[in-house]
Amino acid sequence: MIKNLRLKFGKGAESPAETISTTPVTVFVGPNNSGKSKVLSEIHRFCTSGQKNSTDVIVNEIEFDVFSEAIADEKIKHVTLKPHANESVLPENVIVGKRGNRHQLNRQQLIDALQNTNSQTHRFCQWYLQYNTLILDGQSRISLINQQSAGDFQQPPHTSFQVLFKDDTRRAEVRRIIHDAFGTHFAIDPTNLGWLRLRLSARAPSSHLEERGIHDEAVEFHAAALPIEQASDGVKAFTGMITEIIAGDPAVLMIDEPEAFLHPSLAFKLGNEIARSSSGSEKRLFVSTHSPNFVMGCIQSGAPVNIVRLTYRAGVATARILPKEDILKLMRNPLLRSTGVLSGLFYEFVVVTEADADRAFYQEINERLLRYKPELGIPNCLFINAQNKQTVQTIIRPLRELGIPAAGIVDIDMLKEGGSVWSSFLESAFVPEIDCDSLSTVRTAVKQRFDQSGKDMKRKGGIELLSPNDKESAKNLLERLAEYGLFAVPHGELESWLKHLGATGHGPAWLINIFEKMGEDSTKPNYVKPTDDDVWAFLGQVKTWLVNPKRKGIPT
């Protein structure tokens, strides 16, 4: 139904607005308050009313497919209702509707609306598409499993249960998915005459007749099965969404946070099954999610999927269509997969450190900044660690390629690395080639001065080992790197921070000691709060780069 979705903004404040050529599944990701739920509500409102709304801030326009007269006539049959007793219907009219709503319309005018969807948008949406559009939030997902009217089997089915009850193939597909997920067998119970109910059975029905009949064997089969109302919320939500999607009832379906109530493995399976079942259909499914597992499931299905990342900060909204191939890089690389880097899709910012001890320390520093000095703290930030300084670049580059601001923090001995390691470090931050050459020259000169000092730059004080002029050159180099989101500890290494606390050891041992000295109870006098210098100011510099909408180092 939906051909293109035109948004009101693009990749940046000065970028052209994005146009999304829809696939069967479009997944909206991004940090909290980025507009993921809002975009679903705007699509839903437009599809049901056919009118723009002054409160819309994300969707600018929706372009629909158009239909031939023969296809339009076929589609009308799926929403045509049988007149009630004594209901008067004009010869040239039909009654259309769904889920209790009905409307008597001129048949030819309805066909014209489907043939001219973009010039008669108001008619097309209000007369047809509103009956084929559904939005699901947490509560409505669970209610999908409630019993439904059996309807008139002499008429076309108008609910998901009716479709599944009459269609053995689709019912078998739902049964397969539910059994794979929970080890129980999905069944539709017609034994409460006039109603269709869902049950979960320990065994599959022996025949279609045992499931669909009302004879003794059918009654006994359903009586032994669990009414789905007695299952957990996760089972109910998962089953409700699968039945709605497989039955093919709504042409436009929106699901807000489908992972709610679901274990991560179920979120993955749901994404995989949703994408697979929607592939090749005319249905358009729009999803907002906070779950990397759901996203991974969608992508690994192999079905056509759009991943759109939304952000909103300081009055600037952005939208970026993420190439599926780039996300696959995050999923296939063992290092990236083990660090949970895909979670970066759901944060505004990412900070990548050399090791886990670094990550834990800087994350704790940031949490105290957010509480006591929010002007220096980084909001909505994911801290993740590489295995060493060389692999920091492996994580930064693919995140930045997806438009995610990812800063790297390394020890100063990164300046020891020349050749391809240094070049790759700069390239991961998208430093221009000419600048890479000049920075490499300066790095070589600064390293020589460190070597001449005869002392370990990492363990013995960092730039403080140099003469005033050389120290200024080293600071200039570090500042140039910081312009591209690469931050080297100026005094050497992680353990050079908060020296006045007297922590000892190295790596994890130092981390345990420094945390003890920093205190854990904010009401106690030994609890260390942020100041305007030391590591507090250093992380504030990282924040300055991250929140700057004109930051360098993010490819457009």
* Separation in Å, CA 320 to CA 7, 11, 401: 11, 5, 11
Whole-Å CA distances, 242 to 78, 252, 266, 345:
21, 15, 12, 25
Encoded amino acid at 363, one letter: Q
Please state, as a whole number, how many other Cβ atoms lie within 10 Å of the Cβ of residue 211: 25
Q: What is the pLDDT of residue 249?
A: 67
The answer to whether the beta carbons of residues 399 and 350 sit under 8 Å apart is: yes
188 to each of 85, 146, 202, 270, how far by Cα in Å?
29, 12, 14, 21
C-alpha closest to that of 182 among 140, 142, 231, 225:
231
pTM of the model: 0.86
pLDDT tens track of the chain, all 556 residues?
A: 899 999 999 988 888 999 999 988 999 999 999 999 999 999 999 999 999 888 899 999 999 999 998 888 888 887 888 888 788 888 898 888 877 678 888 989 999 999 999 999 999 999 899 988 988 876 677 788 999 999 888 777 778 899 999 999 999 999 999 999 999 999 999 999 999 999 999 999 999 999 999 999 999 999 999 999 999 989 999 999 999 888 866 889 999 999 988 999 999 999 999 888 887 777 899 999 999 999 999 988 888 889 999 999 888 899 999 887 778 777 777 777 777 888 999 999 999 999 999 999 999 999 999 999 999 999 999 999 998 888 899 899 989 988 999 999 999 999 998 888 899 999 999 999 999 999 999 999 999 999 999 999 999 999 999 999 999 999 999 999 999 999 999 999 999 999 999 999 999 999 999 999 999 999 999 999 999 999 999 999 999 999 998 899 998 7
The sign of the dihedral angle between the CA atoms of 378, 381, 384, 389 is negative
Residue closest to 407 by CA, chosen among 381, 388, 432, 387: 381
Give the pairing type, strands 195-201 and 226-227.
antiparallel
Burial 338-373 (b: 16+ CB within 10 A, else e): ebebbbbbbbbbbbbbbbbbbbbbbbbbbebbbeeb
For residues 134 and 191, what is the distance between their CA atoms, to the nearest angstrom?
28
Give the chain's domains with CATH numbers.
2-137+251-322 (3.40.50), 149-235 (no CATH), 330-547 (no CATH)
Structure tokens at 512: 């345990």
**What three-state secondary structure class fits 491?**
coil
